[in-house]
Amino acid sequence: MIADCGLQIADLKAGQGCARSNPQSAIRNPQWGMTLVELLVVITILGILLGAAIPVLSPADDSRRLREAARAVNTFIAGAKSRAKETGRPFGVAFKKLSQDTGRSGPRDSSDSNYLKDLDNVANDNGVCLELYYVEEPPPYAGFDSNARVMLGTDAVGGGVFNAGQIMVRYVRVGNDVAQNNDGLPPGYDSDEIPTGLFRPGDQMVVGDMRLSLSDTASGGSELTNGFYTTGMGNPANSMFATPLDGSLTSVAYVYDSNGRRLNDTPQSAWFDGRFWTEPLRYKILRQPTKASGEPLLMNEKTAIDLEASGFGNGVRLHDPYQTDSSGDPYPRSNPNEVIVMFTPEGAMNEAYLNTGPGTAGVQRSLISSNLFVLVGLRENLPAPETDFYNFSGTDRDKQDEKAKLNWLNGDSRWVVVGAQTGAVATVENAFVNPQTYAGSALPPAGNMLDGSRSQALQGRRDAEVTAAREFARQAVSQGGR
């Protein structure tokens, strides 16, 4: 065997052996490890996992919160535009004022004993929006059947003096169930009951080429149920008040007195109670939008829609805390009703519902002719502080800190802008604004809350600042959004 191997005994003594006599020595021990390609794959996977986990684990700063909130608002508004196209009916977005939940909706009028306190503390939540929801326009109401009519009448405020800014509305229907002398209606017509909870103040009535706004609140709302009209307001004894729009009552012809007798057939001395009525006419009521199906959008932590700075390109604010009355006294809007913006099936914005008058002035339906600018900012900045940058003596860092307390001067805030004609939606950064540019003089002192000079000065100054802050937003909507 040794000879066959070709080794000498001396070799064996030296530790050499024959491979044929020890076959295990021919098998090398495997070396376990990773190739370069495998290592690169593992590193890539770890990088992806870390990239996804770090933003979740790291605390969000205000800038990131505002970007995410603005993106959500953009998507929600664009969703309303899409729903209008899908359904073929007007569809929109409601911006709910926080005052609806907190009750902090401001003073009712300047005679309120708490007026000064309310001006300082209560009207604040009208400028805050933390929730958006979808709304849709219900079908017009024209009565339950083809026999439904209305009669329009003059409003005699006393002594035969007519109130030209207000008219009366009677709901009637074809029929002879009640004797004429008992209902005061023309022959062949009876009173028609209106359904409870179907329409409300602010809805519009169309009669021929005339358009009226239903404005009756029944002497303080005693005949309103949850803000809607009740059946009792439809009978002739409780005729409803309405306000003519756009001077559309110029062609009204009054032919009956309040006892249902034709004026031409009755001596003037026998006319009953000095109120006159038209012929029974067909009508339809355009109802205000109501809440639609779909989950609302709740603003994320620390963010809010700043209704004080948000508004239309024509200068109308969604909430104006600097409103004054006809005498120039401060009288901020305190109506807590939501602001509504509607889209047509073609995708354009066509109507808005908001209160533009001082105090408790009701919601008005307005046609939209300019772009909508919605400011997403920090909740803690509302209501906006009355910082005076005139002769500001602090450092640049100090000024930056003060600007950060005003959403329209805060560089992290975002504008969501909606084009009026196209409905295009875009999200844009705040433009840089130097507030000292618009602070030509010191603000009047804030000692007397009934002195409107400070409110008027703030209103003018902040209008200029907000307009400048929207510069990028105006450019974006002109280039088109989605």
Per-residue pLDDT tens digits for 268-301: 776 766 678 899 999 999 999 999 999 999 999 9
Rounded CA separation 263/470 (Å) = 59
| Cα–Cα distance, 473 to 374 (Å, whole number) | 10
62 contact partners, CB below 8 Å, separation of at least 6: 302, 378, 412
Three-state DSSP at 120 gives helix
pLDDT at 155 over 80: no
In terms of Cβ atoms closer than 10 Å to its own Cβ (0-12, 13-18, 19+), residue 288 is: buried
Task: Work out the number of other CB atoms within 10 angstroms of the CB of residue 269.
Answer: 5
* 263: three-class secondary structure by DSSP: helix
How high is the pLDDT of residue 200?
Answer: 85
* pLDDT over 70 (residue 325): no
Over residues 170-215, the pLDDT tens digits come to: 899 998 877 666 677 899 998 888 888 888 888 889 998 888 888 8
Are 418 and 371 within 8 A, CB to CB?
yes
pLDDT tens by residue, 85-115: 999 999 999 999 998 898 776 654 444 444 4
pLDDT tens for residues 113-132? 444 444 444 447 889 999 99
Do 67 and 414 contact (CB within 8 A), yes or no?
A: yes
Residue 479: predicted pLDDT: 63
- What would the pLDDT profile of 390-436 be if each residue is shown by its tens digit? 988 889 999 999 999 999 999 999 999 999 999 999 999 999 999 99
List, as own/partner pairs, every contact residues 5-14 make where C-beta atoms lie below 8 angstroms and the sequence separation is at least 24, other chains included: none
What SS3 class is residue 103?
A: coil
- 288: closest CA among 135, 162, 460? 135
Q: Please answer whether residues 202 and 364 qualify as being in contact, where contact means their C-beta atoms are separated by less than 8 angstroms.
A: yes
Quick one: pLDDT at residue 229?
84
Report the C-alpha gap between 303 and 218 in whole angstroms.
39
Q: Identify the three-state secondary structure at position 442.
A: coil
* Range list of β-strands (E), 57-195: 91-97, 128-136, 148-158, 161-174, 189-191
Instruction: List the structure tokens of 87.
Output: 């359904």
Going from N- to C-terminal start, the domains of the chain cover: 62-96+131-137+299-329+340-354+365-479, 148-286
Task: List the beta strands (DSSP E) in 197-245.
Answer: 204-207, 210-214, 224-225, 228-229, 240-244
- pLDDT value for 50: 79
Average pLDDT over the chain reads 81
- Strands (E) across 316-369 are located at 339-343, 349-354, 364-367
- In 3D space, the residue among 68, 195, 181, 179 whose CA is nearest the CA of residue 141 turns out to be 195
Q: Picking from 66-70, 221-225, 414-418, 427-431, which range would have the lowest pLDDT averaged per residue?
A: 221-225
pLDDT band at 324 (very low <50, low <70, confident <90, very high): low
- Token pair 């006809």: residue: 326
- Around 269, how many Cα atoms within 13 Å sit in the side-chain half-sphere? 0
Question: Could you tell me which of 392, 349, 387, 388 has the C-alpha nearest to residue 371?
Answer: 349
Decide: 439 and 389 in contact? Cβ < 8 Å: yes
